[in-house]
Amino acid sequence: MATATKGNLNSFSRPEIKEAGEYGIVLLFPPYSNRASNVPVSVATPNEQMRSLKINQRDGRNEGAVSLGKATLPTGRPVTVAISNKGTDGHVVCDGVQFSRVK
């Protein structure tokens, strides 16, 4: 069933980084068979070009925690993670985006 919001919804995460350093970035979602297998996700940081990925939210092998890579971040709000439902083949769900300092 098509809806008026299909392809028009985005979710953004812009956390405040308290301490500069290298961070691992993880997308959290509940995998399920009705989820999209082609979720567009982009990661924008000040130190590199925007990274674009496609995430399969049907795949439960990672238990709903998929790495979006690592980034070296300064303090403040220098990073944006965007999740979209544009062109997807199922439901798009985002429970959160986790930033973990790499030591």
Please write the tens of the pLDDT for every residue from 5-51.
Answer: 777 788 999 999 999 999 999 999 999 999 999 999 999 998 888 99
Structure tokens at 90: 């199922």
5 within some domain: no
Taking the whole predicted model, whether its pTM rises above 0.95 is answered as no
23 within some domain: yes
Tally of domains in the chain: 1
Residue 3: the pLDDT is 66
10 within some domain: no
State CA 67 to chain mean position distance. 9
77 within some domain: yes
CATH number at residue 23: 2.60.120
What is the domain range of residue 88? 18-101
68 within some domain: yes
33 within some domain: yes
84 within some domain: yes
